[in-house]
Amino acid sequence: MGELLVVRPGERIPVDAVVVDGLSSVDESLLTGESMPVEKGVGDEVYAGTINGAGLLRIRATRVGGETILAQIVRLVEEAQSSRAPIQRLADRLLTFFIPLVLLVASAALILWILLGSPVRGLTSFVSVLVVACPCALGLAVPTAIMVGIGRGAESGILIRHGGILEALGDIEAVVFDKTGTLTKGEPEVVEIIATGFHSEEEALRLACIAEKGSEHPLAEAILREGARRGLDIPDAEDFKPLPGRGVVAEHRGRRILLGNRNLMELYGVSLEALEDEARRMEAEGRTIIFLAVDDVAAALFAIMDTAKEDAGEAVEELKALGLEVYMLTGDNSRTAEAIALELGIDHVLAEVLPEEKVEVIRGLQAEGLRVAMVGDGINDAPALTQADVGIAIGSGADIAVEAGDIILMGEEIEGVVKAFKLSRMTLSKIKQNLFWALLYNLLTIPLAAGLLYPLAGFLLRPEASAAAMVASDVIVVGNSLLLRRKPL
């Protein structure tokens, strides 16, 4: 590790690494299932198996060989595909009764034909019943569907730890989402600026950026990002003084810039009357409010909010359409939580929940008789992910949360949760279809092989035809499972 490598345009990246020079787009569809290339620059991580676009990248290796994310995914999928789902026990129980029953039917057919004076026909029936009733189709019904389902998930950036999770997901009744970083982007953004008549919106933003340039506060970063997005020139302030719990005071070209909350404005005697109505409206919408004053005169109001992911609202609607109850769990205040929930169409909101209380919330829902899936990405979500009937971890989140998840979504899109539920239901449907076909096949062919129709139609299923029918039955089961690969999620 630590070696420097050059990745030319169109080449496959051989190791997990950090970009040290260059700019390019990278096709990460192999890992995340996302078809759109991702822009990569200095400091960004790139992963083994992904394909570099049109730019030249110099990278420093961080994980190689069996330690790469791709190698870990391969191991996880291999282990999951070899696991046994609980529904497999149903097939095993059927086989426990099936084999003795087949032997009984074959022996009864042999004895009956001998008693009727046709020992050759009896022997033919005996062999035909044993051949046609080979339990292969029953044995293949569950594992083939599980294997294809897990593989289909991996292709879509959904990693499932073992086959039982696909079955458990099909029984889920409620989905609980953590808010920050799961339903929302996890980065505060400036969503609205209201300037007084003394300053334009752009000038107010520039002054706010000058004041915040030396700050590392998350809200300061949101303002600076907005200034950078608009291409503003941000000079350094001559003086900068942070006031914890209030905001900052800066000096620029002889003007005093105040940027912070109401307490800061009150401290310097700034009247907020011109902005008060807009401030109350924004606070009612769950936004964080930052005031700007220049030379102790109110100049602007900034509304900052951790905005919802683009696909979150649509994903919530799809989950509800699947018959699932959707909950949002957050440590944020009720007003902010209600605003996000209203935007996304979430009916059940649990706000101001401490990290250690999240497990109790999950237990409470389970005590009500609900089977619960938890979706999260942070360290504080790990205990709740473990407590839930199914834990779904966002792959870009903390390592401990990913380790606690039964399902890992390689991308950040909430649509991956919807796809996981659809995949579970499709896989379980294929298993039921396979089992139904295996049982129907045996119910139809065993009587034919035993000679039930011979007295009526002169038809007896011979051993060679029985063998062909048995093979055809297995092919149908495997083929039906493989159809999962063609179904859109």
CB burial readout 415-454, b (16+ within 10 A) else e: bbbbbbbbbbebbbebbebbbebbeebbeebbebbbbbeb
Convert 80-110 to b/e letters by CB count within 10 Å (16 or more is b). bbebebebbebbeebeeebeeebeebbeebb
Q: For residue range 288-302, list pLDDT tens digits in order.
A: 899 999 999 999 999
Helix (H) or strand (E) segment spanning residue 440: helix 415-450
- Please report the pLDDT score of residue 87 as a whole number: 66
Could you report the per-residue pLDDT of 3-45, keeping only the tens digit for each? 899 999 889 999 999 999 998 888 877 776 555 678 888 998 8
CB 358 within 8 A of CB 381: yes
Residue-wise burial string across 156-181, b where 16 or more C-beta atoms lie within 10 A, e elsewhere: bbbbbbbbbbbbbbbebebbbbbbbb
Mean pLDDT of 237-263: 89
Q: What is the pLDDT of residues 402-449, one digit of tens each?
A: 566 789 888 888 999 999 999 999 999 999 999 899 889 888 888 888
Longest alpha-carbon distance in the chain: 119
pTM as predicted: 0.76
Question: Active-site residue 406, yes or no?
Answer: no
Sequential DSSP letters for 115-131:
HTT-HHHHHHHHHHHHH
Pairs from 200-203 (Cβ < 8 Å, separation ≥ 24): 201/300, 202/230, 202/232
Alpha helices by DSSP H, listed for 1-52, are: 29-32
Q: Catalytic one among 178, 377, 389, 406?
A: 178
Handedness of CA 389, 395, 397, 399 (dihedral sign): positive
Beta sheet of 24-27, edge-to-edge order = 38-40, 24-27, 51-52
Question: Looking at the DSSP assignment, which residues form a beta bridge with residue 267?
Answer: none
Q: How confident is the model at residue 398 (pLDDT cuts 50, 70, 90)?
A: very low
Q: How many distinct helices (H) and strands (E) make up the chain?
A: 18, 20
Average pLDDT (226-237) is 91
CA distance 117 to 124: 14
- Round the average pLDDT of the chain to a whole number and report it: 86
pLDDT at 428: 92
Question: Which H helix or E strand runs over 474?
Answer: helix 463-482
